[in-house]
Amino acid sequence: MNSIRIREIQKEDNAPMAAVIREVFISDDYPKTGTAFADSQLDFMFETYDKPRAIYFVVEENGEIIGGAGVSQLENTTENICELQKMYFLKAARGKGIGLQMIEKCLAKATEFGYEKCYLETLPEMVVAQSLYKKVGFEYLCEPLGNTGHTTCPVWMLKNL
């Protein structure tokens, strides 16, 4: 029986989580520039989220990291908005309801942190993810918020918390 566990990221999870994200971009043939693939903090996820009002969760299956997602203050905005960030799962993790669990866990933490809204950016190709985001109340925007540097993520969504 598969054992799935969602927990907060630890320092020793940095390399496995970076490998998961890179594998998703490579196997699904997503753009590498202007996306999370090129983020400088990709190899330092624990340190990136080790600050107030931020958290990152990893998903383990039988002790192996198969995905993750987190929330943090939206960069370059003075508004009380967090961003759902780096939500990626290996193909073997998809279709098991883990994405919904992760979003719910992240949004609960965002509310606990006192954020008023949650923003996200994604790729047009990520249709299944967009469907999931809509299911939990995210709505499409006509332009980006903040300045994440993800220039090739032209789908922007926002949810009131």
The overall average pLDDT reported for the chain is 92
Arithmetic mean of pLDDT, 116-130: 94
More confident residue, 147 or 5: 5
0.85 exceeded by pTM: yes
More confident residue, 1 or 120: 120
Statement: residue 86 has pLDDT above 70: yes
- Selection from 141, 81, 88 nearest residue 113 by Cα: 81
**Model confidence pLDDT, tens digit, residues 94-110:** 999 999 999 999 999 99
Q: Name the residue ranges covered by the structural domains of the chain.
A: 4-160
**Model confidence pLDDT, tens digit, residues 38-52:** 778 889 999 999 999
According to CATH, the topology of domain 4-160 is Aminopeptidase (3.40.630)
Q: Is 29 left (phi over 0), alpha (psi -120 to 50) or beta?
A: left
The pLDDT score that the predictor gives to residue 31 is 79
User: 2 pLDDT band (50/70/90 cuts)?
Assistant: low
The pLDDT score that the predictor gives to residue 1 is 45
Statement: residue 33 has pLDDT above 90: no
Quickly tell me which residue has 């220039």 as its tokens: 151
Other C-beta atoms closer than 10 Å to the C-beta of 138 total: 22
